[in-house]
Amino acid sequence: MVDNLLGFDFYGSGNIGDDLMLDGFLGVIGGLDGMRLRCIIPDSGRIATLARRFPAVEWTSIKAKRYRRWVGVGDTPIQCTSGRWSLNRLRTSLLANNFDIAIMVGVGVEGEAVELAAEFAPLLRKVACIGTRDEYSADMLIRHFGCSKHQVVRGEDLAHLSPALHTLYGSRPLSCRKYSLGAVICGGDGLPQSSLLQFRRWLAKDVSGSVAIVANEVRPLRYREIDLHRRWTNRAFWNWAPHIRADLLTPDYWRAGSVGSLIEHFSDVQCVLSSRYHGVLTAAWLGCRVAAIARGSKVATLARDLGIPFVGPQFRVCDLDRVHDEAHVVEAKTLNAFADRARASVEQIAHWFR
């Protein structure tokens, strides 16, 4: 019997946030004596890169008959803004009954998922312990999803524990950074077209300094983030505003052997406006001035917790003016407090691995 199965298989799939969360988890739990983790990756092409990036995990496409523990690490599995895929994946995993015990660590809950609470609740009852990424998620689980107070451990996002983020923290002063503005903007299911148009108008209205469009999700899907970014950094796209010069900042994700190389480009940016959760979190840790575009409840919750300005998914040029002016660097003591709470929650859950 294999000891621990990483129940989520999306690591190395193109979303930098997923890799940051796993990096943080391994930074704490990987030090346990005899700790063995396996992850089943359906796309065997990812295995070699993941093995270099996370050598503490056994990456394989071969399934075992049974596992001692099913471990869901990171992400927002209780969500619905991107459709029912997360609910369906969770149902497939937890109803397989090929494990002795299920645990979740550092997971989030979208407020919008309340409408599916009746379907999520019986699945969550199969999980012995659920560590959350914030107070909001813990309260949601207890109030709306039928979880008990003894089942839920309140924590913070696992990315706050990422050794890569801690290594790069404070590595470059703002005055030495190439780009005055970095935009992490979702396409596809992220923001309405009216808001994307307002953002373009805002960029064209008054751009001082150089602009970077920063990719936090690099899967080559039409009309999704990287496709949107490539169009926005094409000079022909701005023929109506020829003064705009926007560079695309994206890591060599599919070949990168370290988590640090996935995020180091943030240290080239002075101010980041992000509609992605881990775009906000990474920018904060890398010392950028930061503001958020809350396309959903989880980004709004993070912005409130960090004490940074944010707008909702429907915004105008004047709203972007405001949050850009109010954007600021998050203090080290605030970030360290997040990391301390995240570490404490993982350590509290660690007894389930002994």
Kindly state the average pLDDT of the residues 337-351.
94
pLDDT at position 204 is 84
- Answer whether 327's CB lies under 8 Å from 174's CB: no
Kindly state the average pLDDT of the residues 212-231.
76
Question: 278-282 contacts: CB < 8 A, separation 24 or more?
Answer: 278/15, 278/16, 278/17, 278/20, 278/21, 278/159, 278/216, 279/17, 279/184, 279/214, 279/216, 280/184, 280/306, 280/308, 281/17, 281/20, 281/157, 281/159, 281/160, 282/16, 282/20, 282/159, 282/165, 282/216
Q: Which of 68, 112, 74 is nearest to 120 (CA)?
A: 112
Kindly state the average pLDDT of the residues 161-173.
92
Cα(85)–Cα(346) distance, integer angstroms: 27
- Answer whether 156's CB lies under 8 Å from 14's CB: no
Q: In Å, what is the CA distance from 164 to each residue of 59, 142, 156, 261?
A: 21, 33, 17, 9
pLDDT at position 206 is 62
**How many CA atoms does the CB half-sphere of 324 hold within 13 Å?**
18
pTM summary value: 0.93
**How many CA atoms does the CB half-sphere of 235 hold within 13 Å?**
3
Q: What is the pLDDT of residues 234-279, one digit of tens each?
A: 877 777 777 778 888 888 888 888 999 999 999 999 999 999 999 9
Q: Which of 228, 212, 226, 229 is nearest to 265 (CA)?
A: 212
Where helices occur in 69-218 by DSSP H, the ranges are 85-94, 117-124, 135-144, 163-168, 193-205
Kindly state the average pLDDT of the residues 212-224.
76
> pLDDT-derived band of residue 224, with 50, 70 and 90 as boundaries?
low
Cα(312)–Cα(191) distance, integer angstroms: 10
For residue 7, pLDDT over 80 is answered with yes
Residues of each domain in the chain carrying CATH 3.40.50.2000: 165-333
pLDDT at position 318 is 95
pLDDT at position 65 is 84
Q: What is the pLDDT of residues 91-102, one digit of tens each?
A: 999 998 889 999
143 burial via Cβ count (<10 Å: 0-12, 13-18, 19+): exposed
**Radius of gyration of the chain, Cα coordinates, nearest whole angstrom:** 20
Q: What are phi and psi of 65, to 5 degrees?
A: -70, -35
Of the chain, the percentage scoring pLDDT greater than 90 comes to 64
Q: What is the pLDDT of residues 46-76, one digit of tens each?
A: 899 999 999 999 999 988 888 999 999 998 9
> pLDDT-derived band of residue 221, with 50, 70 and 90 as boundaries?
low
pLDDT at position 317 is 95
Tokens at 192, concatenated: 């309405």
Tell me which of 3.90.320, 3.40.50, 1.25.40, 2.30.30 is the CATH number of domain 2-163+338-353: 3.40.50
Cα(123)–Cα(145) distance, integer angstroms: 10
202: helix, coil or strand?
helix
What superfamily would CATH give domain 165-333?
Glycogen Phosphorylase B; (3.40.50.2000)
Q: What are phi and psi of 107, to 5 degrees?
A: -100, 160
| H/E run at residue 214 | strand 211-214
| H/E run at residue 212 | strand 211-214
